[in-house]
Amino acid sequence: MELTQSQMQIVEQLLGAGFQPIEIGPFQRGVCLRKGECVALLGPVPNGGLQLLVPVTFLIEGNLSVKIKRGNGEVFVWKGKELEATEERLRELEEFRTKLAEILEVGGKLS
């Protein structure tokens, strides 16, 4: 994915905040960023910014997981592998999402 100058500035801000770029095979058209085991897939928006393409989630074996209901709780899954959606993990994911959203919002206004 080709990034504009304003999108590169946003990515630089994200890197400065501790997010790390990663490659996830089928998602080469977006920008994948992780922090810990949390991951986000970003794509371009018309104003030169970036936006989330899918809800933030956890990596399982290097792949994006999906959160589903299981019994009375929730789990993150990828191809039969599961990660329990504990309060701690959900809090970590929300902190990840909030920090990401703050940077994307500010970066979009600077464009």
- 58-84 per-position pLDDT tens digit: 999 988 999 999 988 999 999 989 999
> In which element (H, E) is residue 8 found?
helix 5-16
47 pLDDT band, cuts 50/70/90, is confident
CB 9 within 8 A of CB 107: yes
* 96 occurs within a structural domain: yes
* 41 occurs within a structural domain: yes
What global pTM score does this model have? Answer: 0.86
Its domain, for residue 56, covers 5-106
Question: For residue 54, what is the DSSP state?
Answer: S
**Rounded Cα–Cα distance for residues 22 and 70 (Å):** 29
Residue 109 has pLDDT above 60, yes or no: no
* 54 occurs within a structural domain: yes
How large is the average pLDDT for residues 24-33? Answer: 77
* 111 occurs within a structural domain: no
Question: Residue holding tokens 């929730």?
Answer: 74
Name the β-bridge partners of 20.
34
